[in-house]
């Protein structure tokens, strides 16, 4: 069975953009592949953060991923496998400063930081972030990495690093990871449908997957529809986004019926919104219930994920033993 690895930062609550764009796909991949899904808490240290918040958000993400249907044996917390950091150091020594400097996400995140606070400190961790990501992938010999297009450059770097390592040490040791660009719906911000749904712009810009139903309905109700500046004959991005959510929920009949209304100029946005809210409520009820069940025995769930992380760690340790051998480091007596 081929190996699949992906990671998600512990941002707190999952939003529907995360779900339709990544997590839903991960749940499906579990049937076909040997999966490693990681809550990448080390990565979240690259931007300013609070320690307690990080811990809380890491567990929150773990619980929500489980509630979405990720199997505990496929899930681990990155920092519970400290070998990722060790490999990251070793890989940083085969990565050129120049290629790392070309990573556009670093520049974007740096600008984002400076925009919020012009005196903000840009950590070198933020610069090294893509090497840690390469370590995440290479440490388990991943064949496929499901990611969005925004991660394409990081994937390419991971491949270059693997190649450089293999070449430098004269051994085809690391496998070349391939990106897995599955067609996933792109969900936009309900408040500004020219941007991707995301948490960095503020509360109005995302719809959390585990919101209570009332809240969910309110969030859909206040979504921007027509701003009046869309060219004649084109669907406004806000309306298109609502249709996209409906499609993502698998409600094609309702989607097509409303689309016919739209084409006939008979669509009422309030009807569209109500249908979207119904669809999301129906989809998320099971998730909320599962989360409720998991929350009823938090300690057991945490122990389970700590154990699965320990199990996964054994594979990472195996890789590190080999990498230490290959690179001329010593190994402990085993
Ligand atoms: N950088 C990824 C993101 O921001 C998260 C990530 C970390 C990741 N490590 C990974 C994704 C390894 C895929 C594989 O979305």
Q: 317 alpha carbon to ligand 1 midpoint, in Å? A: 21
Q: Is 109 a catalytic residue?
A: yes
Mean pLDDT, the chain, whole residue set? 95
Question: Same domain for 34 and 151?
Answer: yes
Residue 155's contacts (CB-CB under 8 Å, 6 or more residues apart) are 137, 145, 147, 177, 179
Cα–Cα distance, 238 to 230 (Å, whole number): 10
Which residues lie below 8 Å from residue 330, measured CB to CB, with a gap of 6+?
324
> Which residue of 4, 8, 156 sits with most ligand 1 atoms within 8 Å of its CB, as the best mutation to test the pocket?
8
Please tell me whether residue 80 adopts helix, strand or coil conformation: helix
Would you state the pLDDT for residue 201? 84
pLDDT of residue 270: 95
Residue 248 sits in a domain whose CATH number is: 1.10.240.10
**Could you give the CA distance from residue 42 to residue 78 in angstroms, rounded to a whole number?**
7
- Which pairing describes strands 75-77 and 144-146: parallel, antiparallel, or unpaired? unpaired
Same domain, 42 and 166: yes
Whether 289 and 306 map to the same domain: the answer is no
Catalytic residue among 2, 171, 186, 196: 196
- Tens-digit pLDDT profile for residues 60-82: 999 999 999 999 999 999 999 99
Three-state DSSP string of 140-168: CCCCEEECCHHHHHHHHHHHHHHHHHHHH
Rounded Cα distance, 188 and 29, in Å: 24
CATH number, domain with residue 60: 3.40.50.620
State the total domains in the chain. 2
Whether 95 has a pLDDT exceeding 90, the answer reads yes
Query: Tens digit of pLDDT for each residue in 147-200?
Result: 988 999 999 999 999 999 999 999 999 999 999 988 888 999 999 999 999 988
User: Which stretches within the chain are classed as H helix?
Assistant: 16-18, 24-29, 41-44, 51-68, 83-92, 97-101, 104-116, 124-138, 152-168, 213-221, 237-248, 252-263, 269-296, 298-327
Minimal-distance CA residue to ligand 1 atom 15: 8
pLDDT of residue 38: 98
Is the C-beta atom of 145 inside 6 A of ligand 1?
Answer: yes
- Which pTM was predicted? 0.94
221 in active site: no
Helices (H), 172-268: 213-221, 237-248, 252-263
Residues 159 and 285 in one domain: no
With respect to residue 193, please indicate whether it lies within any of the assigned structural domains. Answer: no
Q: What angle do CA 304, 57, 220 make, to 5 degrees?
A: 115
In a shared domain, residues 286 and 303: no
pLDDT digits 0-9 by tens, 102-157 = 999 999 999 999 998 999 999 999 999 999 999 999 999 999 999 988 999 999 99
pLDDT band at 40 (very low <50, low <70, confident <90, very high): very high
Same-domain pairing of 171 and 212? no
Write the pLDDT tens digit of every residue in 224-259.
998 777 887 889 999 999 999 999 999 999 999 999
pLDDT attached to residue 2: 97
Q: How far is the CA of 4 from the centre of ligand 1 (A)?
A: 13
Ligand 1 mean position, distance from CA 29 (Å): 17
Question: Residues 170, 252: one domain?
Answer: no
Specify the pLDDT at position 214. Answer: 94
State whether the beta carbon of 133 lies less than 6 angstroms from ligand 1: yes
Rounded distance between C-alpha atoms, residue 114 and residue 303, angstroms: 39
314 among known catalytic residues: no
Do 158 and 221 share a domain, yes or no? no
What range does the domain containing 276 cover? 199-293
| Cα dihedral 199/201/207/210 (nearest 10) | 30
- Please indicate, yes or no, whether residues 51 and 107 belong to a single structural domain of this protein: yes
The radius of gyration of the chain from alpha carbons, rounded to an integer in Å, stands at: 22
Long-range contacts of 53-58 (CB under 8 A, 24+ apart): 54/10, 56/12, 57/10, 57/11, 57/12, 58/10
Closest-lying ligand 1 atom to the alpha carbon of residue 148: 15
CB atoms within 10 A of CB 261: 14
| pLDDT at residue 170 in the model | 97
- Ligand 1, pocket-test mutation among 3, 37, 139, 147, most atoms within 8 A of CB: 147
């Amino acid at each position: 069975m081929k190996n699949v690895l992906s990671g998600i930062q512990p941002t707190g609550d999952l939003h529907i953009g995360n779900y339709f764009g990544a997590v839903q796909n991960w749940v499906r991949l579990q049937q076909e592949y040997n999966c490693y899904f990681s809550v990448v808490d080390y990565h979240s240290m690259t931007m300013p953060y609070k320690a307690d918040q990080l811990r809380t958000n890491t567990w929150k993400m773990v619980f929500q991923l489980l509630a979405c249907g990720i199997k505990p044996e496929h899930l681990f917390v990155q920092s519970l496998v400290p070998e990722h950091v060790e490999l990251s150091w070793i890989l940083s020594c085969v990565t050129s400063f120049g290629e790392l400097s070309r990573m556009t996400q670093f520049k974007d995140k740096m600008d984002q930081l400076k925009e919020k606070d012009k005196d903000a400190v840009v950590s070198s961790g933020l610069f090294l972030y893509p090497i840690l990501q390469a370590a995440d992938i290479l440490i388990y010999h991943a064949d496929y990495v499901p990611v969005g297009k925004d991660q394409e450059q990081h994937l390419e770097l991971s491949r270059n690093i693997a190649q450089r390592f293999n070449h430098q040490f004269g051994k085809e040791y690391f496998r070349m990871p391939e990106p897995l660009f599955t067609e996933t719906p792109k969900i936009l911000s309900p408040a500004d449908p020219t941007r991707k749904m995301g948490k960095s712009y503020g509360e109005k810009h995302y719809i959390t997957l585990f919101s209570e139903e009332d809240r969910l309905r309110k969030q859909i109700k206040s979504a921007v529809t027509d701003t009046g500046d869309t060219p004649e004959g084109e669907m406004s991005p806000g309306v298109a986004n609502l249709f996209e959510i409906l499609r993502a929920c698998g409600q094609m009949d309702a989607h097509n019926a409303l689309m016919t209304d739209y084409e006939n100029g008979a669509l009422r946005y309030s009807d569209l919104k109500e249908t979207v809210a119904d669809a999301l409520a129906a989809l998320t009820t099971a998730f909320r219930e599962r989360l409720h069940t998991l929350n009823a025995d938090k300690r057991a769930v945490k122990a389970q994920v700590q154990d699965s992380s320990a199990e996964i760690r054994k594979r990472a340790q195996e890789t590190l033993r080999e990498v230490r051998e290959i690179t001329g480091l010593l190994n402990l007596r085993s």
